[in-house]
Structures are given as C-alpha cells and as structure tokens.
Chain A
Amino acid sequence: METTTMMPTADITTHIKTFLARVIPDHELEDEEDIFAAGYVNSLFAMQLVLFVEKEFHIAIEQADMVIENFRTVGAIARLIEHKQLVAAR
C-alpha cells in the first residue's frame, strides 16, 4: 500500500525559501512577506513557482487553488502544500 509522507512545516518553509533565494538573493524573507508587492518577482516567476511547488512536493494545484493569493507569501505557499498533502493522505 502506498503511504503519503507528510513533510514538517519547517522543512516545507525551508524548501520554498531556498527556491526563492535563487531570484531574491541577499534578503532574508519573512514568512508573511508579500513577494510580489515588494517587487522581488514578476508574473512569469509566479508560473515557475507553481511548477516548482507541484514537482517538489508531489501535489497538483487544481484550478480553484490557482490564485495568486496562495503564492503571495512563503507562509501561504506552505499552508497550501500542507492542505494538499493532508487531503492526499486521507
């Protein structure tokens, strides 16, 4: 039987921050800092971010979740991943 492993929140956050650090160097991102409002990343990067999240955390972002609010902060992304992993584990 296939088992779904849940990644701890801290690990999820670290993974996301490592990915974001590639485009936002020399800056310690806060968990609830708006990466778009601060002008760090553009809309094309948002699309890259979705692909990263899907591949890295083995989840599929459905149409209803494809809203920029879910990707605006590290915290929001982590919450979405946790929610998706929880649903998948059920």
Chain B
Amino acid sequence: MKTRTIGVLGAGVMGRGVAQALAQTNHQVILIDRTPDILTRAEQSIRQNTRLMRLFESQKQAADPEAIISRIKFSTDYEMLAEVPIVIENVTEKWDIKKSVYQRIDRICHDECIFAVNTSAISITRLASVTTRAAQVIGMHFMNPVPMKPMVEVIRGYHTSDATISTAKTLVADMAKECIIVNDSPGFVTNRVMMLTINEAIFMVQEHVATVEEVDRLFKQCFGHKMGPLETADLIGLDTILLSIEVLYDSFNDSKYRPCPLLKTMVDAGLCGRKSGRGFYTYQLDNTDH
C-alpha cells in the first residue's frame, strides 16, 4: 500500500466517502470545498461514519477514527491541489458548476495531474473538453457508501489515454477495490439503467399501483436485491436522482427519461432521502448535516 496525497474536491456525501475510503487505505488526502462550514460537517460526518463502520470490522482490524481524520487536510484553498498527482472531483451534478471547477483546477494543478470525475451521468468527454488535458481526464464513478463498496465504474472518455486508465486502476487497487472500465455514454452502465428503474418505481407509487414498501419488497424478495429501488433512491439522494435523470433526458432527447412529477415534488419539498432525514422513508439523522 502506497502513501501518497490525493486531492478530493467537494465534501458532500460522495466527497466525504471518497476521502474516508482513501484515508482508510493509508493515503493522505486534501479535501477541498467552498466553505469552512461544509468542511466542519464533513469532518464530523467522517468521524461518525468511521466510528459506526466499526460494526462491520473485527475489533483488531478496526481503524482508529482519529488516525483516519489525521490523514485528511480540510481546506477551502484550491491552490493546495497544485502538486497532487490525482484530483477526484465530487461537486454537484450541474454542468455549469462542474465546468467552472474544471477550468479552475486546470489552471492550478500541475501538467501531469489526472482529473477523475465522480459523476452520476455527466459526460466525461464533455468535461474533458473544458480542460487543456483531455487525455488525463477519466470517470471514476464511486458507489455510496464509498468505504463499503468494493467496485468502481471507471469511464474512458473519448480522449482518455491508456496511461491515465492505468493510473486509475492502480489507485482503485490501492483503495482495496476493483473496477470495471466502460466507454463514455450518458449515465454509463449503472446509472442509465438504475435511474430509469428508480424513476419508473416512483411512477408506480404515484399511480398507486403499489406502496413504497411493497415496491421495495418485490425487488428484494423476487430478485434478491439487497435494497429496493426506493430505498436506493433515498440513499443516493432524490435531488441527485432528479439531476441525473434530467441529464439523461437532455442527452438522449428521449421521453422515456422524463422525470416523474412525484420525484420533482419531493425534491421541491426538501424530501431528499437519507441525507435530509426523510424521503420515501424516514431516517435518524446523525446531526452532522442539519
């Protein structure tokens, strides 16, 4: 296991998870976000998650939360990314926000630095086009909760070089995970299928075909899925689901990707799932987010 410093941009649910997973595998991490407040909450959340994840580790193996936190530098200063070999970007799934972030880090990071886009649906090739290093831009679609998920969907953009893919593979292996490499296409493999499934499941609830619990139980007990589509929606965040399905709709111009009105209403009402304490189900908040 190597010790090196990785830049992580965005300290929301995914950014925190990536930072924690890196720190747990002996990487030094620079975690950047816009405000000290977000970073404070990220630190509390990582400490809490590290403590709770002890449930699934033997007491011998279990990592000390403070040791993990000590490997992460929390900062609002993008300039700290100047010398890192890789930046994993996890900012909001909005094109304009991501675009300005990539233009900014393209100016700051050294020429060899690789940009790994952690996105649900935005085109890797399109994001690469706003940088001066398209060959060094790659998709790394981590799954939530990142420290517990063994697989990463890695996306080859149109110009992504073999050397960049090789570096990404090494990083994934150093994080004790595996990856599958797919070509760039809206939503990649996982989210093109998953977002459509979740959206359709929400239509089922809207049309009173079945209740939330019934939909989820059917998927779990008929198909052996660990979680039903609506539980999964709550885990991903309904706001992220809506943004992703909108990206699919815009990318394909196909009405099969139209967002369900109930999904829009729930997002407007602030019922964003697990992270907001309520979505299709209600949750115990860990007090680090609100």
Give CA–CA (A37, B62) in the complex, Å: 22
Give CA–CA (A75, B226) in the complex, Å: 25
Contact indicator per residue, chain B 208-250, by CB within 8 Å of chain A (1) or not (0)? 0000010000001000001100000001000000000000000
How many residues of chain A get a CB closer than 8 Å to chain B's CBs?
20
Of B76-84, B185-193, B281-289, the one with at least 4 CB within 8 A of chain A: B281-289
Q: How far is the CB of B281 from chain A (nearest CB, A)?
A: 7
Cβ of B213: which chain A residues have Cβ within 8 Å of it?
A: 25
A1 CB–B CB distance under 8 Å: no
A5 CB–B CB distance under 8 Å: no
Cβ of B220: which chain A residues have Cβ within 8 Å of it?
A: 39
Q: Is the CB of A47 within 8 A of B235?
A: no
Of B22-30, B53-61, B176-184, B262-270, the one with at least 4 CB within 8 A of chain A: B53-61
Q: Is the CB of A67 within 8 A of B148?
A: no
Q: Is the CB of A67 within 8 A of B59?
A: yes
Q: Which residues of chain A (4-51) have a CB below 8 Å from chain B?
A: 22-23, 25, 39, 42-44, 46-48, 50-51
Q: Is the CB of B62 within 8 A of A50?
A: no
B173 CB–A CB distance under 8 Å: no
Known: A43-B148, A51-B284, A51-B286. A66 touches B55 (CB 8 A): yes
A90 CB–B CB distance under 8 Å: no
Q: How far is the CB of A36 from chain B (nearest CB, A)?
A: 10
Cβ of B52: which chain A residues have Cβ within 8 Å of it?
A: 46-47, 50-51, 66
Q: Is the CB of B55 within 8 A of A67?
A: yes
Q: A66's contact among B49, B54, B286, by CB below 8 Å, is which? A: B54
Cβ of B145: which chain A residues have Cβ within 8 Å of it?
A: 44
Cβ of A51: which chain B residues have Cβ within 8 Å of it?
A: 52, 284-286
Q: Which residues of chain B (252-290) have a CB below 8 Å from chain A?
A: 281-286
A25, closest chain B residue (CB): B213
Q: How far is the CB of B213 from chain A (nearest CB, A)?
A: 6
Give CA–CA (A64, B58) in the complex, Å: 11
Q: A43's contact among B55, B283, B286, by CB below 8 Å, is which? A: B55
Cβ of B227: which chain A residues have Cβ within 8 Å of it?
A: 42
Q: Is the CB of B62 within 8 A of A63?
A: yes
The 5 A-B pairs of least Cβ separation, nearest first, read A66-B54, A47-B52, A51-B284, A48-B284, A52-B284
A-B contact pairs, 29 of them (CB 8 A): A22-B281, A22-B282, A23-B281, A25-B213, A39-B220, A42-B226, A42-B227, A44-B145, A44-B235, A46-B52, A46-B55, A47-B49, A47-B52, A47-B55, A48-B284, A50-B52, A50-B55, A51-B52, A51-B284, A51-B285, A51-B286, A52-B284, A55-B284, A63-B62, A64-B59, A66-B62, A67-B54, A67-B55, A68-B56
| Known contacts A22-B281, A46-B55, A63-B54; 13 further A-B pairs (Cβ under 8 A) | A25-B213, A42-B227, A46-B56, A48-B283, A48-B284, A50-B55, A51-B52, A52-B284, A63-B51, A66-B54, A67-B54, A67-B55, A68-B55
A residues touching B (Cβ–Cβ < 8 Å)?
22-23, 25, 39, 42-44, 46-48, 50-52, 55, 63-64, 66-68, 71
